[in-house]
Amino acid sequence: MLFFNFVCQVEPRDWAKLEPESSMENGDRKVSQTVTNKKMISKNSIFLISVVLASVTVEVEASDSLTLTKAPSNEKNRDFTWRQQAIQKLWEERKAMGHTPLRKFPIPGMPDVDLIFKDESVTKIGSLKFRFGWALFMWALLEGHIDQNTTVYEASSGNTAICESYMTKLIGVPFVAVVPDYTEDTKVNHIKEYGGKVLKADIAARFGKAALEAEKNHGFYMNQFANAHRAEEFHESGNGELESVNVMHEIVQQLKSQNLKEPDFFIHAAGTGGTISSVGRYVQKYNLDTKVIMADPEFSIYYDYVINGKFMNESGASLWKTPGMAGIGFGYAGPAILGQTSSLQPSVVNGAFKLPDIASTASMHVLREYGISGGTSTGMNFLASLSLAAKERSKKSQGPLRIVTLLGDPGTVYESSYYNISWIKQKFDFHGGLPVFDCWKDVIRNSFTKGSDPLAVGSELCSKEAVKDSASRRSKRETNFSAKFRSVL
């Protein structure tokens, strides 16, 4: 039928005897006419052959399409039984995870504020990265990046690697983590506890090393910074058996169960940017009346990336100062490119804080004094929450101002670093050392008990210069007092 249709499209005149162009019967003219006719017949013959070949081709393709052919992209998923079992194990893990608890944390100086920590430190691996790692592995399995013979590689500051080590053990594949050379032994031991291997590198070189090792050994580089944007989902599932791992989904469900509305603000520090972006996307998709606020370390590029649209094509490596806030911020390894080097989506973030690293460390210590022992992101979240609460509480016309933030991981992981006074003295010498650290602690305590804005007060009182001047004035007062005392004697 296809051949017949093509032939019918050829005009009949091409096959009939061509009429002469003139009535002249000159011999030369007849010869010319005959040559012309032959050329036309030759052209038409070629056209007919082309039509026949085209028809044959179409017929062959149409015939082949009637036979089931496996898609090449599915060949890497050829062991469907193993993959289905791995996915089922992840869903069983999700069910066992349940909902991490919400912990209300009253602020004595701001009784009109509801500050709530969602406690991610109670997950099986002790951090927020548990749900993040789950999402990465579900994505990688569905995309066919992992089969039963794949070794998974990752560059991490520790917590993500711990979770990925757990997940690889769960589904039965090897794991290699590339971590910064200063990573706490506690984190390294947790990675090894689940069967993972650990390689160390400079913080900026770990990405390249992880990618190179994966390529060299025919493994898969998970690349959390690039792929969190793809893996972190932002969908509402209800409380069914196959439930979303999105942290905002859980927060909304838990608040509803207490007859409470969604929070006025959600605050979180960004590492890969995956968690805060998934929250922002969820908030926008379901039109929630919640503002998403990011907390960023002072030498990270994320603040300027979100607020000013900078560092999309330029690196912030020259601006980075150690020790930073472990696992938080970005800039030490090139520009922020969504889906390549970072998963932070600026369009879903409503505002941002730039926080001094030494103030965030002081915040960890003050928060522990009041009953919550958290890690670097938790300290930043607390400091940003206090400042935001002080600024925004008077604007709330009805009911308390509700702020939800995350307790990302426990303080026990940082006993040898951010909770170690000798370590702080050494690592934060550039930032002003212990005098500046102690100044920030006093300011944050005062904010908690009296309701002041710690960033507004601390920026004035706790800079290196201000603390030095204060110490100098105090020293002079003490010297004068001693001199007067001796004169009396």
- Domain of 164, CATH number, reads 3.40.50.1100
Tens digits of residue pLDDT in 18-39? 344 444 444 444 444 444 444 4
Same domain? 116 vs 259: yes
Same domain, 255 and 213: no
Environment class of residue 127 by beta-carbon count within 10 Å: exposed (0-12), middle (13-18) or buried (19+)?
Answer: buried
List b or e across 231-250, with b for residues whose CB sees 16 or more CB atoms inside 10 angstroms: bbbbeeeeeeeebbbbbbbb
Based on the fold, state whether residues 352 and 428 are members of the same structural domain: yes
pLDDT score of 69: 77
Examine residue 469 and state whether it is found in any structural domain, yes or no.
no
270: phi then psi, degrees, rounded to nearest 5: -110, 135
DSSP 3-state assignment of 171? helix
* Domains: count for the chain: 3
Q: Assess whether pLDDT exceeds 80 at residue 223.
A: yes
- Domain of residue 413: give its range: 102-121+238-453
| 325 and 443 housed in the same domain | yes
For residues 488 and 482, the answer to whether their CB atoms sit within 8 Å is no
Question: In this structure, are 220 and 130 located in the same domain?
Answer: yes
156 inside domain: yes
Confirm whether pTM is higher than 0.85: no
Q: How far is CA 72 from CA 16, 63, 66, 83, 234, in A?
A: 50, 20, 17, 17, 30
Task: Label residue 76 by pLDDT band (50, 70, 90).
Answer: low
pLDDT of residue 364: 99
The residue-averaged pLDDT of 142-159 equals 95
Is residue 327 in a domain?
yes
Q: What single-letter amino acid sits at 194? A: Y
The amino acid at 347: S
Residue 336 lies in a domain: yes
**Is 224 among the domain residues?**
yes
User: Looking at the structure, do residues 276 and 421 belong to the same domain, yes or no?
Assistant: yes
158 with 292, same domain: the answer is: no
- For residue 358, give both structure tokens: 């030494």
Same domain? 209 vs 275: no
Q: 480 or 4: which carries more pLDDT confidence?
A: 480
Alpha helices (H) along 65-177: 80-97, 129-142, 159-171
Q: Do 220 and 246 belong together in one domain?
A: no
| Dist. CA 353–CA 374, nearest whole Å | 19
Q: What does the alpha-carbon distance between residue 451 and residue 454 come to, in Å, rounded to a whole number?
A: 9
Q: Is residue 113 part of a domain?
A: yes
Claim to verify: residue 397 and residue 272 sit in the same structural domain: yes
Specify the pLDDT at position 489: 54
- Domain boundary residue, one of 184, 207, 228: 228
Mean pLDDT of 60-68: 63
Q: What is the pLDDT of residues 368-404, one digit of tens each?
A: 999 999 999 999 999 999 999 999 999 998 999 999 9
The residue ranking higher by pLDDT, 70 or 327, is 327
Kindly report the length of the chain. 489
Strand runs (DSSP E) across 237-394, as ranges? 265-269, 291-297, 351-355
pLDDT band at 468 (very low <50, low <70, confident <90, very high): confident
375 with 415, same domain? Answer: yes
Question: Is there a domain that residue 34 lies in?
Answer: yes
pLDDT in tens, 400-444: 999 999 999 999 999 999 999 999 999 999 999 999 999 999 999
Please tell me whether residues 262 and 375 are part of one structural domain.
Answer: yes
Q: What is the Cα–Cα distance from 407 to 53, expressed in whole angstroms?
A: 70
Confirm whether 430 is domain-assigned. Answer: yes
